[in-house]
Structure 1
Amino acid sequence: MNYERYFQENREKHLGELKELLAFPSISCLSEHKPDMARAAEWLLNNLIESGFENAHIHQTNGHPIITADYLHAPGKPTVLVYGHYDVQPVDPLHLWITPPFEPDIRDGKIYARGATDDKGQMFLHIKAIEAILKQEGELPVNIKLCIEGEEEMTSPNLPSFLEANKEKLSADFVVISDTAFLETGRPAIPTGLRGICSLDVIVNTANSDLHSGTYGGGVPNALHALVSLLASLHDKQGRVAVEGFYSDVPDISPLMKTEFAKLNYDEEQLRINLELGALYGEEGFSFIERVGARPTLELHGVHGGFQGEGLKTVIPKEAHAKITCRLVADQDPEDILDKMKNHLERHLQSGAKLSIITGVKIRAFNIDPSHRILQLAADAYEDVYGVRALFTKEGGGIPIVEAFSRILQAPVVMMGFGLPDEKLHAPNEHFNLENFDKGLRTMVSFLKKI
């Protein structure tokens, strides 16, 4: 079958449909756009039916709708669950957009609109690739299920419970997600890990009020001094987290991943220059790319207390605050790490100070062995179309729902993204390179045939 010719002949039709989808202001976090979310879900439902999918349904949740559909006519063949999301980020600041964010515009080989790359454009590739196989061959080489949600940009509050309630309906041999990016133009990448996260707010209190530093200085505990001492205890001089047991569930980086990291040829010196730093910093014994992808971290995001205004106010503050997050890898349990953090902070608290801790987000890391057959076939599919085999990476950030799919459905997840790092997702002038739209369609056809 000549898929390249098919996609060329249908390109304007496909881009026209994508423009229709991008025109919906489906901003999930803003309540005034709830009707737009419903209209976008309805449009997707109709497009799936027109594309040949069966059992297409809109499922109402406590938030925005989830859409499912399938095509299950390949007995004995693998079942693939494709996930995507139709919700988008807010558009502010609006005045920085060259063209309106919900009036899709094609220029310089790119389509500009909010959601173009995150994730409507990438998600739409799957629908049109599957439609193409059906129209060209009348059948699919695998069984397909779709799950498209409208709350990813809100950390998917309703999807995990939906997965739990519909395990059998959504069961699959593999889960495929396109919501990530290439390393650069022409260099596809398959993430094999996403770091998890946990967070906490630390509050240190001392006296029952701020005190005059002349009258009390040197004789009473200072909340800021106590907090600074506490925070300094969290790392050793080699950049390692000093919390007891922090690394208990962190394995060594495998030889295969070390090889993949080396293939990236990451220029640390250029990064240092670009950031105007005297030196990079982090856990001793690891490269920058290993530190931000395969190692856990503990970072301070805000520290405040005492007088913040202009000039001088000589008080001993009674209260000081810090915001902390830990990026997690491998089998680190957010709850366990938070417990270890609490124990450490309590043990190292200065005499005379009182400690309060408020815990926040708790998201586990996602990991998959890069030697897994499904990832190797995905890398081969990229090579078929791009002429370059995808490299395996580990992402410093996270997509919380990826771990949920893997854990709840007990299925390996392959992340086959087609975005580029400079496509301004979440920022003004978000866009999607149409070269990757065109090649992405052919890559997904190749991948489905391979598995």
Structure 2
Amino acid sequence: MTDARLDPVLDRIDAELPAALDRLMTLLRIPSISTDPAHAEDCARTADWLAEDLKSLGIDAAPRPTTGHPMVVGHGQDAGPHLLFYGHYDVQPVDPLDQWKTPPFEPEMQETTHGKVIRGRGASDDKGQLMTFVEACRAWKAVHGSLPAQITFFFEGEEESGSPSLIPFMKEHAADLTADIALICDTSMVSPGVPSIASQLRGMLKDEFTITGPRIDLHSGHYGGPALNPLKEIARIVASFHDADGRVAVEGFYEGVDEISDELKRQWENSGFDERTYLESVGFTQSHGEAGYSTLEQQWSRPTLEVNGLWGGYMGPGSKTVIPSQAHCKITCRLVGDMDPDKLRQKIRAHVAAQLSPDAKVTWDGDLDGAPAAVMNTDRPEFEAARQALTDEWNREAVLVGMGGSIPIAGYFKDILDMDAMLIGFAKDDDAIHSPNEKYDVESFHKGIRSWARVLAALSA
């Protein structure tokens, strides 16, 4: 059934697109690099700008102080379901600056072979995405004088620097932030023109270990043969992490891992994802992951154990005939389903201990960093309502997708506020987020605004 409230809102969005782009350009000019103390004032200035913009919509908004950069919290007093919208206003550093074709904080509208793009740091991650929701609300307010739902706006200023203030802030202000459901716009579409709702995000486990053999580096002529070489030892242990089919060989590693449903697999298979392009873009001719699973399944619904760093001995120019005293390894695991990072850490450490040769000793890093996967409650009716709204806007079936990376805020909403989250984003894989020459397609911005307008209509029907 068509919502009579919606058409004039969509018309308003189309007519006001130039003004919306101007506002985004203004926001992009502020260098809100959260990890660099030299830009603390810029982060505060960005928070002030966003609060003032929300106030122009009649939202009771203000920057909230934290031990780091401010959070922006705003409340609309309209009737309807209570929705919380989250985005982050901070951006990544711009290094290496010499690889930018235009100044990163002097955004430009550019013509490309695939259409117009907005070029500048933060265009896609996450200022452009954040503003798609704000502009949808602006259009609703202009047309109807009110928003279609009770909306809480929550903008973070430290997402790109590890969110050190986020958990304490959420705990302290839980009553101020809790809503019926959280909406997050910090994700991408599975392929161009295919609207996507993230249904699961992989978690993360990090660890690091050192293998020690001899108490000092040894002359390879005097000790070569009888000596235990930590580099050989650590290479053998690393090789034992996987079997010949790419499956992780750590006992109990797959505890808590479930197979995806046939319906979800159907959506992924019909999402328009181009496996060949995905692999060839980084120089591969085939997938090298766990046998028996598609590339998307390996990326979204299967856990991994990756070796991120492996080093030891002499690494300078020329040769040094040494048997090193130590060798080092950094690993990360991407987690899915109900995998417990703390239990998994113990399993991996037990596996390494069981592989050790006599006279080899292992020491582990003490920084226990890990977070479980986030699995969205897609049985909630809001997911199907939003999926249909996105399908109507893009004229292409919207799909529930997984994400290979992690967005911790989705898990925090559940763990701290007992609130489910729905992640909808309009970025593209070639947006070069975190890299030089970041961009956001004007189509993503325009249709993103229209999409949120439709989603708001659907969730408030």
TM-score range, shorter chain: over 0.9
Query: How far apart are 1:369 and its partner, in Å?
Result: 4.3
Query: How far apart are 1:326 and its partner, in Å?
Result: 0.6
Query: How far apart are 1:275 and its partner, in Å?
Result: 4.1
Aligned equivalents of 1:259 and 1:370: distance in 2? 16
* Map of 2:268 onto structure 1: 261
- Alignment check: 8 A CA contact 1:78 1:143 kept: yes
* Map of 1:422 onto structure 2: 430
TM-score, with structure 1 as normaliser: 0.95
Residue of 167, 170, 187 corresponding to 1:160 = 167
Q: What is the correspondence of 1:166-181 to structure 2 with a 5 Å cutoff?
A: 166-181=173-188
- Alignment check: 8 A CA contact 2:10 2:453 kept: no
Aligned equivalents of 2:334 and 2:40: distance in 1? 32
- Closer, same or farther in 2 for the Cα pair 1:2/1:271, shift >3 Å? closer
Aligned equivalents of 1:153 and 1:62: distance in 2? 16
Q: What is the correspondence of 1:116-155 to structure 2 with a 5 Å cutoff?
A: 116-155=123-162
- Alignment check: 8 A CA contact 2:158 2:164 kept: yes
Q: Once superposed, what is the RMSD of the aligned Cα atoms?
A: 1.7
What residue ranges of structure 1 are gaps of 5+ in the alignment?
Answer: none
- Alignment check: 8 A CA contact 2:338 2:373 kept: yes
Structure 1, 328-337 or 39-48: larger mean CA deviation: 328-337
* Map of 2:101 onto structure 1: 98
Give the aligned residue type for 1:66: M
Count of matched residue positions in the alignment of Structure 1 and Structure 2: 448
Aligned equivalents of 1:265 and 1:371: distance in 2? 24
- Closer, same or farther in 2 for the Cα pair 1:102/1:337, shift >3 Å? same
Aligned equivalents of 1:449 and 1:128: distance in 2? 14
* Map of 1:49 onto structure 2: 55
SS of corresponding position for 2:103: coil
- Closer, same or farther in 2 for the Cα pair 1:244/1:45, shift >3 Å? same
1:69 maps to 2:74? yes
Aligned equivalents of 2:177 and 2:286: distance in 1? 48
Aligned equivalents of 1:433 and 1:306: distance in 2? 47
1:395 maps to 2:400? no
* Amino-acid identity (%): 38
Residue of 59, 78, 83 corresponding to 2:81 = 78
* Map of 1:40 onto structure 2: 46
CA offsets per residue over residues 84-105 of structure 1, 9 Å max, x none? Answer: 0110011122222232111121
CA offsets per residue over residues 101-159 of structure 1, 9 Å max, x none? Answer: 11121122222111111111110111121122122112222110011010010121211
1:60 maps to 2:65? yes
Residue of 335, 341, 344 corresponding to 2:348 = 341
What residue ranges of structure 2 are gaps of 5+ in the alignment?
Answer: 1-6
SS of corresponding position for 1:416: strand
- Closer, same or farther in 2 for the Cα pair 1:268/1:15, shift >3 Å? closer
Aligned equivalents of 2:139 and 2:282: distance in 1? 45
Give the aligned residue type for 1:46: E
* Map of 1:442 onto structure 2: 450
Structure 1, 218-227 or 116-125: larger mean CA deviation: 218-227
Give the aligned residue type for 1:395: M
SS of corresponding position for 2:142: helix
CA offsets per residue over residues 348-376 of structure 1, 9 Å max, x none? Answer: 11111110111453122111144432221
Structure 1, 355-364 or 113-122: larger mean CA deviation: 355-364
Give the aligned residue type for 2:30: F
Give the aligned residue type for 2:387: A
Give the aligned residue type for 1:101: P
Aligned equivalents of 2:89 and 2:167: distance in 1? 17
SS of corresponding position for 1:2: helix
- Closer, same or farther in 2 for the Cα pair 1:161/1:301, shift >3 Å? same
Give the aligned residue type for 1:60: P
TM-score, with structure 2 as normaliser: 0.93
1:13 maps to 2:19? yes
CA offsets per residue over residues 50-92 of structure 1, 9 Å max, x none? Answer: 12212x1211111100010011331xx3210000011001112
- Closer, same or farther in 2 for the Cα pair 1:242/1:17, shift >3 Å? same
Residue of 28, 31, 35 corresponding to 1:29 = 35
Q: What is the correspondence of 1:104-115 to structure 2 with a 5 Å cutoff?
A: 104-108=107-111, 109-115=116-122
Q: What is the correspondence of 1:276-315 to structure 2 with a 5 Å cutoff?
A: 276-277=283-284, 279-315=286-322
SS of corresponding position for 1:87: coil
Query: How far apart are 1:284 and its partner, in Å?
Result: 2.0
Give the aligned residue type for 1:139: S
CA offsets per residue over residues 303-343 of structure 1, 9 Å max, x none? Answer: 11122234433222111011111111111122221111111
Structure 1, 138-147 or 40-49: larger mean CA deviation: 138-147
- Alignment check: 8 A CA contact 1:378 1:416 kept: no
Query: How far apart are 1:397 and its partner, in Å?
Result: 0.8
- Closer, same or farther in 2 for the Cα pair 1:19/1:310, shift >3 Å? closer
- Closer, same or farther in 2 for the Cα pair 1:267/1:39, shift >3 Å? closer
- Alignment check: 8 A CA contact 1:383 1:389 kept: yes
* Map of 2:3 onto structure 1: none
Aligned equivalents of 2:451 and 2:277: distance in 1? 32
Give the aligned residue type for 2:66: T
Query: How far apart are 1:263 and its partner, in Å?
Result: 1.4
- Alignment check: 8 A CA contact 1:243 1:340 kept: yes
Aligned equivalents of 1:420 and 1:276: distance in 2? 20
- Closer, same or farther in 2 for the Cα pair 1:275/1:48, shift >3 Å? closer
* Map of 1:373 onto structure 2: 381
Aligned equivalents of 1:113 and 1:174: distance in 2? 31
